[in-house]
Amino acid sequence: MKLLTGNSNKPLSKNIAKYLKTKLVNSSIKKFSDGEIYIEINENIRGNSIFIIQSISSPANDNLMELLLCIDALKRSSAKNITAVIPYFGYARQDRKVVPRTSISAKLVSNLITKAGADRVVTVDLHAGQIQGFFDIPVDNLFATPIFARHAKKNIKSKNIICVAPDVGGTERARALGKILNVELAIVDKRRPKPGQSKVMNVIGNVKGKTCIIVDDIIDSGGTIVNAAKALKDRGAKEVYVYITHGVLSGEAVDKIKKSVIRKLVITDTIDNHDKIKNVKNIEVLPISALMGEAIKRISNSTSVSDLFK
């Protein structure tokens, strides 16, 4: 087993390698003057099982192309098998046709990864679980819920907690954390006028006097979460914590969070946000490297990955 990293999240790749007590494959990933990406594997990997670690985060197009070229380079270098480890699976939010005459990018990206030569995919908290069915190769979808549960139990001292889904689509995710914490569930019903904007309409469930934990997979512009937190406070919530796996944090998202009623936003390091959030007191990052490293070890040893979540 060998690990190769792309450029999207080298700190995470190094931490995974440290967990597995191994080194990253020596490689060169550069750009030509016109922006084309150049990949070179600088050591022999013939006959080895290779795990390429690359998030499809901003700049999403460059990082996706880099992933595809890395897979192609590994395939042409006679790797025994190739596992694409994609901590943040970009383009997953376009998983169906919401309006006529649009692309289904999640399916297209799945096809590209498979066609490039990947034999398996490992990712974390897919935006929609059914994206696993877009692939004709095995997909391991890991969950950050146990990591969030441990953090919440240690750091939230309130005995009156309720888990909150920021929209109807996130109910299953919030319920999963609520089950571990043995607390009730509330749902924020919202309407989205246009992409990047949301308007909270109603809160289903009693949040008055309670410590609310909002749970979601992605925070992008921050509008949905900030509005949901405000709606909860307006309805009498004592305080609001937010647990989200992927901190996309585009545009003015960090400033919105800093100025919001959110006591603490907790994200994982599937996306490298070090420069964005340093010195921001109400944003905390939890490491995902141990979970991903253990999954890689189990795949390499042909043992169960699902047992991680039992």
pLDDT digits (tens, 9 = 90+) for 61-83: 999 999 999 999 999 999 999 99
Domain assignment of residue 122, yes or no: yes
pLDDT over 80 (residue 195): no
Please indicate if the annotation marks 221 as binding a ligand.
yes
Mean pLDDT of 175-199: 83
**8-state DSSP, 24:** B
Active-site position among 14, 115, 190, 310? 190
For residue 150, what pLDDT band results from cuts at 50, 70 and 90?
very high
Residue 167 known to bind ligand? yes
- 126 in the same domain as 181: no
Q: Is residue 303 part of a domain?
A: no
Q: Please list, in sequence order, all residues whose beta carbon lies within 8 angstroms of the beta carbon of residue 194, skipping any fewer than 6 positions away.
A: none
Backbone angles phi, psi at 182, to 5 degrees: 60, 50
User: Does residue 157 share a domain with residue 131?
Assistant: no
Q: Tell me whether residue 101 is annotated as binding.
A: no
pTM equals 0.94
- 190 a catalytic residue: yes
For residues 46 and 162, membership in a common domain is answered with: no
Distance separating alpha carbons of residues 46 and 67, to the nearest angstrom = 19
- CATH number of the domain that 203 lies in? 3.40.50.2020
Q: Are 199 and 190 in contact (CB under 8 A)?
A: yes
Token pair recorded at residue 51: 């795990």
Establish whether 169 is an annotated binding residue: no
- pLDDT value at 43 more than 80: yes
Q: What is the mean pLDDT of residues 91-113?
A: 94
Residue found under tokens 């990997």: 45
In a domain, 198, yes or no: yes
- Provide the domain limits for residue 248: 144-287
Residue 294 falls within a domain, yes or no? no
Which tokens sit at 281? 């007191």
Tell whether 269 is in a known binding site: no
Is the same domain home to 87 and 176?
Answer: no
CA–CA dist 124, 147 (Å, integer): 12
Q: What confidence score (pLDDT) does residue 193 get?
A: 64
Residue 23 main-chain phi, psi, to 5 deg = -110, 155
Name the 3-class secondary structure at 148: helix
173 and 206 in a common domain: yes
At 101 the three-state DSSP class reads: coil
Do the domain assignments include residue 293? no
Alpha carbon distance 102, 86 (integer Å): 25
pLDDT tier at 98, thresholds 50, 70, 90: confident
Domain tally, the chain = 2
